[in-house]
Structure 1
C-alpha cells in the first residue's frame, strides 16, 4: 500500500554516533521542539540538488545566504503576487525547504507593485545587467585583496612614528568581517536578476499552456534555447585549447596530466609549445575560477587550484579530436530546431495573439541566459575566492596552534571563528606566555563535530518530510527543483506503474540505450567512459566536458530549469531529471533505456530497481540499502 505522506522530522532515526547533531548548527536552522506542531504541518523537500552532502558547521553560510536572498527578492523586492520566499531548515545535516505561499487576500494588492518593479528591470535590462557585472566584479576584487597575516612579534617602528597606535589585530578582525559581508553582498546581487529570469520564462510558459493546451514542456524550453552562455565558456576554452594543441602537434605532451608541473614544462619545451602555454594562461582569468562541485562546500575543487582537472579534460578532448569526433556543441542545429518550433507554433495563432507570443518569447529568450550565467559569477567565481580566503585563515590559525588539520576551521560556525580571532588577538596582545587558549578549547570540539558529520554522512536524506499539499504552485519549486504535485505522488509510490524503471521529468528530448555510470562525487568523473549514461544525484554546471562523452543523463532531483536539464538541451542529449532515487537504485554497468521525451528510465537488465519513484510488480522486494529512509 503506497504511503500518503513522508516521515515527520522526528520520525527519522539519528545515525549512530550523530547524537546531539543539532548543537553543531546555528539554533535557527534546526526544527524547534516547541514549534513541532506547526513545522510538522508543512511540506518540506530536500534540496540535495545544491547541497548533496552533509554540512560542516561553517558551510551553512552558503545555504543561509542563498535561500535568504532568494526569498527577499520574492517577498520584499519584486513582490511576486503568489510567492513569498522559502523557509529552510537543516535536518540530520541536509537542507530542507518549504515554500511560503502568499495569502489569497494579499495577492491582488501585490500585483501593481510587482508590475512596476519588473517593468523597470525589463525596460532597462541591458544597462542594469552591465551594472550588475560591475557590482559583482567589484565585490570579487575586494575579496581577492583581503589578507590574513599572522600578527608580528613587535609592532613596526613606522607605526609608532606615524601615530597609528594600533597593533594590526584590528585588520585581522575587519578583514574577517568584511569577507563574510562581501560573500553576503554578492548573494544579494545573485538573485537580483535570477528571479526575473524565471519570471519571464514562467510567464511565457503559462501563456503557451493557455493558447496551446497540449504543448509539451520541452517544446516551450526549446523556443528559448541555443544561446551563447557564459556558463559554457570554461568548457569552450578547454575545447579551443585542445584544438590548438592538435594544430601545434602537442598531443604526445598530455600523457600524464596528473603531474601538472611536468605536463606544462613538457609543453613549454616543445616547438611552438610556448604559444600554447600563453593561450592557456589567458584562459585561466577568469574561466578557471570554476569548481567541479557547486561552490557551496569548503572541499570543492577549483580548476585554478587543481589544474590536473582542466588538463585531464583537455587531454580527453585531444583524444576525441584525434579519433575524428566533433567536440563543439551543436549550436547551429539547436538554433535551427528552435526557429522551426517557434515558427510552427506562431503559425497557429491569430495576429493579435501572435504579437503577444512574440513579446513574451522575446523577453524569456533575453532573460533566460542569466538563469545559467549568474552561476559562473557567484557560485563559481565569488565562492572560489571566498573558500580560498577561508583556507588561508584556517591555515594561519592552524599555525598558531588552534587546530591540527589545515581546514579544521570548517568545523566552527562563522561566529565562533570571530571568537577564535579575538582569542588570538588577546593572547598575543597581552604577551601571555601560554598564548591563546584556542588550541585547548577547539581541538576536542572539532574532533567531536568531525565524528558527528561523518556519522550523518552514513545516511541518505529523505527526499521530503510530512504531508505534501494537494497541489504545488510555487514557481521556483517547480521550475528549478522539479518538485511538482505529480512527482511527489510518484515518490510516494502513487503514480503510473513503470515496470522495471523510474519516472521523472521529461527534461531533454530523445531516446537512447546504453550502460549506466553512477556518479555520487565529482572525483569519480574521471571514471566516465565514452557513450555511457550518466546517473547522478545531481550534475554540476562544471561537468560540461563530460557531456560530449555521454549519451544521456538521469538525475535524482531537478526540474526543467535545473542545470542538468538546461545543459543537456544545449548539448542535444536526452535527460530525465527528478526521478527521486536513480543514483541509489541503479548500478553502474546496468543497461538503461532513457526516454527524455516521456521522462521514463527503464532498466533493461537485472537487478531490478526498487525504491521511491520505482515500480515493479514485485512489491515485496527489499528496498535498496542506499535508498532514502522511507523507501
Structure 2
C-alpha cells in the first residue's frame, strides 16, 4: 500500500510578507496547532474549481455559506447514504476541502430515510421547483429593495411627528444585517435541489455501471445531455441580438464603434431603435451574469459592464458575416443522446430491466437541468445583486472619507463591517468626526500587502495522506478527484508530453494552445485555438464557437465546464491537475475528449 502523502498544512508556510494572514479570516476556517493531530488525519484538496484565487476577507463568506449549506442537506436533511458534508479550511488564502464520508455501518440505515425524503421531492419535483423559483425571486426582490444612503444632516421632521423613536443608523445596520441574512438564505435555496440532482444522476450512473460492465463514464453522461437550461439563455440572447443586427443591416455600426457611440447612432433610425429595444429587453434578467463564478467581489457582471456582452455580440456578427453557424448544436447533441440511449436500452435482456433503465434515466433527465439552472439564479443573478448592494454601502464609506476605493470594504470580514457602521453612526450622533478616516487607510494598506503576498504563491494541490481509494461520489463527479488523479499529483516522475484527465466531452482535435488565466484574457483567443485554463466559467460560452477544445486543471464529469462543453459540442478534458502550467501558449497539442488525454506535440 502506498505511504506517499502531500505536505502537511502545518508545514506549508505562507510567502514572505503574508505574516498574520490568519487574522483576516474566521477562526473556524483556519488550521490550529492544538488540532494538528486531528487535521493531519484528514485529506484536503484545493477547490480551485470554485475558488481559484486568494480570498479577500469579506469574500470568504461565499465559501462559508455555500459549503455549510451543502453539508446540511447531505447530512441532516436528505441523509445522502454515502456522503455527509464537506469540511473546509482557508490556508494561505486558498480554499481546501475534505469530504466527510459516512461510516459504512450507518449507510444501510440511511437508505430508507433518504428514499422517503428524496422520494417526496422527486415525486413533486415540478411543483416544488416552481415554488423554489418564487422563493429565489423573492430574495432577489428583497435585496433590490434595500438602499444604502449617507446619513442626513438632520432627521426628517416627519419622523418626529410620527413618533418613530429611531434614527437612520438603526435602519442602516438593519439593512446590512438583512443583506447578509438574504445571502445566507439564498445559499440554502441553492442546495435545496442541487444535491438531489446529483443523487439522481449518480443512481442512474451506478445502475449503468452495474448493468453494462465497461460502459465509459462519458456514455452515461451523454444519455442525459441535450437539455434546455436557463444557464444558456444569456448566450442565446447575445446570439439573437447578433442575428437581429445582421438582419437589420446594423453590423457595421456595431463593428466600428464602442457601445455608447453605437447606441447613439442607432437612435437615429427605425432599425436601430428596434435593435436597442431588443438589447434593453435582453438585459433583465439575463445580463445578471458574471464573467467569473459569483464567489468574489471582484467578479464583473454584464449588467454593470455592458461592454462585455457588446463585444461578444460584435464577435458573433463577424462570424455570421463569414457564413458561420453560431447556434449551439442542439439537434446533433440530442440525436447522439437518443442514439446511445437506444443502443444501451436495446441491449437489456428483458422488459423489467428496460423499465428500470427507463425509470432511472427518466428521473435523471427530469432533475438534471437544475444542476446547471441553479447556477444562473444563485451564483449569477442573486450574487450580482448582493455584490452591487455591498458596493452601494461601500460607496457611503468612501463619501465619508473612511477609505478611497469602493473595493476597500472587502478587506474586512463581514462581522467587522458592524464596527465601521457603528463608528460612522456614533460620530454622526455625537457631532464629532468618525475614527475610520484616520484609522482604516493604514489597516487596509496592511491587509492589501498580505493578500497580495498570498497571491504570489500558487496553492498546493492537496494536504496530508490521501485515501487509498477515493470512493465519495460527489468528490469524483464534481471535482474529478479520483485515486488516479491524486496519485498523478503525488508522482514526482515527469509524465513527458502526455497528461491524463477526465473524458468530459467527446472529440479528437489538434491545435495551438492558449493559456487563459482570467476572463479578461479571453479576448486573446484566436480562431481554432485550444483553450487551456484552471477552470472555465459558464459565461465563457460565447468563445466556444471559435475554439477547438477546452482543457482544465480541475473538474469532474459533472463540473460546469464538462456539462457546458458537452452541450456546446466542444471536446473537453477536465481534471488534468496541471495542464495550465505544463502547457504553454503556442504549444501544439492533441486533445482526445473521449479518452481524457492531452498530448503536447511541439513547443
Structure 1 stretches lacking a partner, 5+ long: 607-631
Provide the secondary structure at the position in 1 that maps to 2:4.
coil
Per the alignment, residue 445 of structure 2 pairs with 447
Structure 2 CA distance for partners of 1:309 and 1:101, relative to 1, 3 Å = same
Per the alignment, residue 520 of structure 1 pairs with 517
Within 5 Å, give how 1:208-247 maps onto structure 2. 208-247=208-247
Confirm or deny: 8 A CA contact 1:250 1:270 kept in the other structure.
no
CA distance in 2, matches of 1:427, 1:475: 54
CA distance in 1, matches of 2:20, 2:164: 47
CA distance in 2, matches of 1:66, 1:9: 23
Per the alignment, residue 577 of structure 2 pairs with 580
Confirm or deny: 8 A CA contact 1:3 1:492 kept in the other structure.
no
Post-superposition offset of 1:400: 1.1
CA distance in 1, matches of 2:316, 2:273: 20
Post-superposition offset of 1:540: 0.3
Post-superposition offset of 1:256: 4.9
Post-superposition offset of 1:498: 5.1
Within 5 Å, give how 1:247-262 maps onto structure 2. 247-256=247-256, 259-262=258-261
Post-superposition offset of 1:501: 1.9
CA distance in 1, matches of 2:485, 2:265: 52
Confirm or deny: 8 A CA contact 1:291 1:300 kept in the other structure.
yes
Per the alignment, residue 164 of structure 2 pairs with 164
Provide the secondary structure at the position in 2 that maps to 1:155.
coil
TM-score scaled to structure 2, two decimals?
0.98
TM-score scaled to structure 1, two decimals?
0.94
CA distance in 2, matches of 1:466, 1:441: 40
Provide the secondary structure at the position in 1 that maps to 2:479.
coil
With 396-405 and 594-603 compared, the bigger mean Cα shift is at 396-405
Post-superposition offset of 1:105: 2.5
Provide the secondary structure at the position in 2 that maps to 1:269.
coil
Post-superposition offset of 1:101: 1.0
Please state if 1:438 is matched with 2:441. no
CA distance in 2, matches of 1:602, 1:326: 29
CA distance in 2, matches of 1:85, 1:578: 22
Per the alignment, residue 69 of structure 2 pairs with 69
1:15-44 CA-to-partner distances (Å, cap 9, x unmatched) read 111111111111111011110111011100
Structure 2 CA distance for partners of 1:304 and 1:256, relative to 1, 3 Å = farther
Provide the secondary structure at the position in 1 that maps to 2:591.
strand
Per the alignment, residue 108 of structure 2 pairs with 108
1:349-381 CA-to-partner distances (Å, cap 9, x unmatched) read 121111000000000011111101000000000
Per the alignment, residue 491 of structure 1 pairs with 489
Per the alignment, residue 262 of structure 2 pairs with 263
Confirm or deny: 8 A CA contact 1:284 1:304 kept in the other structure.
yes
Within 5 Å, give how 1:55-454 maps onto structure 2. 55-256=55-256, 259-349=258-348, 350-432=350-432, 435-454=433-452
Post-superposition offset of 1:494: 7.9
1:454-508 CA-to-partner distances (Å, cap 9, x unmatched) read 001111111111110011122211111001111111222289x854121111111
Per the alignment, residue 616 of structure 1 pairs with none
Provide the secondary structure at the position in 1 that maps to 2:456.
coil
Provide the secondary structure at the position in 2 that maps to 1:560.
coil
The number of equivalent residue pairs is 601
1:280-322 CA-to-partner distances (Å, cap 9, x unmatched) read 1000000000000100111111000101000000000000000
Structure 1 runs (4+) greater than 4 angstroms displaced: none
Structure 2 CA distance for partners of 1:368 and 1:494, relative to 1, 3 Å = farther
Provide the secondary structure at the position in 1 that maps to 2:241.
helix
Identify the match of residue 547 of structure 2 among 545, 550, 555.
550
CA distance in 1, matches of 2:20, 2:582: 30
Provide the secondary structure at the position in 2 that maps to 1:100.
strand
Provide the secondary structure at the position in 1 that maps to 2:85.
strand
Confirm or deny: 8 A CA contact 1:395 1:407 kept in the other structure.
no
Provide the secondary structure at the position in 2 that maps to 1:535.
strand
Provide the secondary structure at the position in 1 that maps to 2:513.
strand
Per the alignment, residue 563 of structure 2 pairs with 566
Confirm or deny: 8 A CA contact 1:514 1:592 kept in the other structure.
yes
Provide the secondary structure at the position in 1 that maps to 2:122.
helix
Post-superposition offset of 1:264: 1.6
CA distance in 2, matches of 1:3, 1:277: 63
Confirm or deny: 8 A CA contact 1:57 1:413 kept in the other structure.
yes
1:305-347 CA-to-partner distances (Å, cap 9, x unmatched) read 1010000000000000000000001101111111110000001
Confirm or deny: 8 A CA contact 1:3 1:493 kept in the other structure.
no
Per the alignment, residue 594 of structure 2 pairs with 597
Post-superposition offset of 1:518: 0.5
1:82-118 CA-to-partner distances (Å, cap 9, x unmatched) read 1100000000100000001111222222122111000
Per the alignment, residue 501 of structure 1 pairs with 498
CA distance in 1, matches of 2:256, 2:154: 48
Within 5 Å, give how 1:601-620 maps onto structure 2. 601-606=598-603
1:494-551 CA-to-partner distances (Å, cap 9, x unmatched) read 89x8541211111111110001110001111111111110000000011010111110
CA distance in 1, matches of 2:322, 2:405: 45
Post-superposition offset of 1:441: 2.5
Post-superposition offset of 1:268: 2.4
Provide the secondary structure at the position in 1 that maps to 2:602.
coil
Post-superposition offset of 1:3: 8.6
Post-superposition offset of 1:425: 1.0
CA distance in 2, matches of 1:594, 1:454: 35
1:534-569 CA-to-partner distances (Å, cap 9, x unmatched) read 000000011010111110000000000111110111
Post-superposition offset of 1:158: 1.0
Structure 2 stretches lacking a partner, 5+ long: none
Per the alignment, residue 613 of structure 1 pairs with none
CA distance in 2, matches of 1:3, 1:580: 21
RMSD: 1.3
Post-superposition offset of 1:255: 2.7
Please state if 1:536 is matched with 2:533. yes
Post-superposition offset of 1:271: 4.3
Confirm or deny: 8 A CA contact 1:502 1:582 kept in the other structure.
yes
CA distance in 2, matches of 1:190, 1:165: 38
